[in-house]
Chains A and B, each alone.
Chain A
Amino acid sequence: MQELAVPLNHVLLVSSLLFCIGMLGLMIRRNIIFILMSLEVMLNASALAFIAAGAHWGQPDGQIMFMLILSVAAAEVAVGLGLVLQVQRRFKSLDMDDANRMRG
């Protein structure tokens, strides 16, 4: 439509930068709440890539994938935060290294 629109590769660059920051957070944090936040950042970065690709072709499919990612993120956060409450009750700590054995 416009001649001077946002270049596609710059949106994808931002998306990959966000994904790498999320992955770095996932690797360096041991607190389970921060691990869940990093997962959110990574899901959000992939959603940005989908939106950018869908907008590049002018098709609604990217936004539909975004909505599916949104519902996956919502379900994952609900279950993950339930697990956070159980970990806090059992181990009295949010450190994932305390919960690295399969037996409770």
Chain B
Amino acid sequence: MLEIILFYLASGVALAATILAMTRANAIHALIYLIVSLLAVAVIFFLVGAPFAAALEIVIYAGAIMVLFVFVIMMLNLGEKGDARERQWLQPRIWSGPAVLSLVLLCELLYLISSIEGSASAGTVTAKTVGIALFGPYVIAVELASMLLLAGLVGSFHLGRRTLERGS
């Protein structure tokens, strides 16, 4: 019973934090709400029996990726002028159309998903099981992920250089 209450609390926190993150004018405020949302999703992972994924979510998403965002926002140094521009872009006439469109899609999704039955956790899947599957049948996926990360490293190094204009 306790874990169901915890699940609903965590999902409420995740949804509220994500909505607040999407509607902030200041980028750093939005980022902090986004970190709260990721932590709440990590709690959901833990509750459905995936503790290893919960740890990875906190360490990599809320730790590494969000710190990358913070660094870039601080390098850009947006300030008050950027906040005012964001508020001007967030008028209701701008977002009401897309909101209605995604609401329609959301209603369809909710209708379809609510017909699924069954419980979400069939016991805890430990890190050992995940590791055995990762380096057994999924070893090609590990290689592909490493090549993708290498490509991301090379691409971000190339894009982040200050002298890109001279070369092109």
- A interface with B by C-beta (< 8 Å): 1-2, 4-14, 16-18, 20-25, 27-31, 33-34, 36-38, 40-41, 44, 47-48, 51-52, 54-64, 66-68, 70-79, 81-86, 88-90, 94-95, 104
Is there a chain A Cβ closer than 8 Å to B118's Cβ? yes
Among A2, A29, A61, the residue within 8 A (CB) of B121 is A2
Count A-B pairs with CB separation below 8 Å: 252
Contact flags B112-150 to A (C-beta < 8 A → 1, else 0): 011111111111110001101110001001000100110
Query: With A and B bound together, what is the CA distance between A67 and B31 in angstroms?
Result: 22
Q: State whether A41 and B37 are in contact (beta carbons under 8 Å apart), knowing that A60-B129, A71-B149, A72-B148 are contacts in the complex.
A: yes
Among B4, B73, B156, the residue within 8 A (CB) of A6 is B4
Q: What residue in chain A is nearest B155 (Cβ atoms)?
A: A79
Q: State whether A81 and B68 are in contact (beta carbons under 8 Å apart), knowing that A14-B44, A24-B99 are contacts in the complex.
A: yes
- Establish whether residues B119 and A77, one from each chain, have CB atoms under 8 Å apart when the complex forms: no
Q: State whether A27 and B106 are in contact (beta carbons under 8 Å apart), knowing that A41-B37, A71-B148 are contacts in the complex.
A: no
Q: How large is the interface on B (under 10, 10 to 19, 20 to 34, 35 or more residues)?
A: 35 or more
- Establish whether residues B102 and A94, one from each chain, have CB atoms under 8 Å apart when the complex forms: no
Q: What residue in chain A is nearest B1 (Cβ atoms)?
A: A4
- Establish whether residues B48 and A52, one from each chain, have CB atoms under 8 Å apart when the complex forms: yes
Task: With both chains docked as a complex, state the minimum distance between the C-beta of A86 and any C-beta of chain B, in angstroms.
Answer: 6
- Establish whether residues B138 and A64, one from each chain, have CB atoms under 8 Å apart when the complex forms: yes
- Interface SS of chain A: helix
Query: With A and B bound together, what is the CA distance between A71 and B124 in angstroms?
Result: 23
- Establish whether residues A11 and B61, one from each chain, have CB atoms under 8 Å apart when the complex forms: no
Q: What residue in chain A is nearest B150 (Cβ atoms)?
A: A75
Q: State whether A31 and B89 are in contact (beta carbons under 8 Å apart), knowing that A16-B109, A18-B15, A79-B152 are contacts in the complex.
A: yes
Quick one: which of B68-126 are within 8 Å of A by CB?
A: 68-69, 72-73, 75-76, 78, 82, 85-86, 89-90, 94-95, 98-99, 101-103, 105-106, 109-110, 113-125
